[in-house]
A and B are shown apart, each in its own frame.
Chain A
Amino acid sequence: MHQWTGSHRRLGAIRRGWRRLAAAVGLLFAATAWPAANGPSASAPSANGPPPNGHSATASALSASGPTASGSSASGSGPADEDIHLEISPRICTLTGNDKQCSIPVHAQWRSKHDESLCLVILEHKEIQRCWEHYSAGTYTVELVFTQDVVFQLRDVSLEHVLASEALRVIREAIQYRHRRRQPWNIFD
């Protein structure tokens, strides 16, 4: 049988005191955080507007749909690379027959649990660069002409750290050749 003792009663009082203190700190924190959660960073810019940080895509062939921001998350926690997700479509270009190069529109889309400031770069096309500042999602469409794999990367604004990466693969259909038939009795053989 369990019995309450004097030391038990003292320990319970201490625990109750700590809980009250934690509740007070929590209320204070919530009161200060409330305005920030509804601030300007949550507003989505125009989908066709200029990039927020003033960078512009320089390739003349660009047909960018423009960056879009979707929602926001509580700021304060540090960004983690694995929180940023990059997708490209299509992911494979197949060269068939006499095709010499891929010439297709490529759609890139990224999203993050947090607001980010980052740039989308294409390694084989350094002239193409699209940046976002304090956004949690973005889309970008570009007409590309390429013969080799193309790597899309999301980097921080200093362009030094890679946050996410995806490759657009080029697959060449294996072409087999065989001898053409010679027919001397034919008109032109």
Chain B
Amino acid sequence: MSDPKPEPEKDVLVELQEEFSLMRSSLEEILQLQRKILDKLEGKTAAAASSESSLDDPSGCLSVGILLSLPDHLRKTMIALSKLVEGRADEVATITLRARAIESGYLNQLVRLGYVKKVRKKHQIYFTVEGGG
């Protein structure tokens, strides 16, 4: 017959086990908090980076700087479209007093440059300065 383990030893083991599990859950909580902090920090960094890039590269937001950087013929088109906020090539042409086909070409150039967005509404093509790029 083997000697039964003394009771106090068993108690110590149980206590140790409980403490270990407590430590484990605490560590998990700390890890979770750290993850949350990291996520927040990464989010903030990304937001700051995007706002910085929007300052450096103002495409997507109409500004005097953009207008000044454009050649004369495209600036005229851009100003006319800005007045309309959103419009078709023929509407822009009535403001600039140039041919519709010419304005269509210039507007597509502005789309490629990322300053203007092209939107299709039913069968018609609209251009907008909002959210260009």
A, B in one complex: no
Which residues from chain A sit less than 8 Å from chain B, CB to CB? none
Query: Residues of B with Cβ closer than 8 Å to A?
Result: none
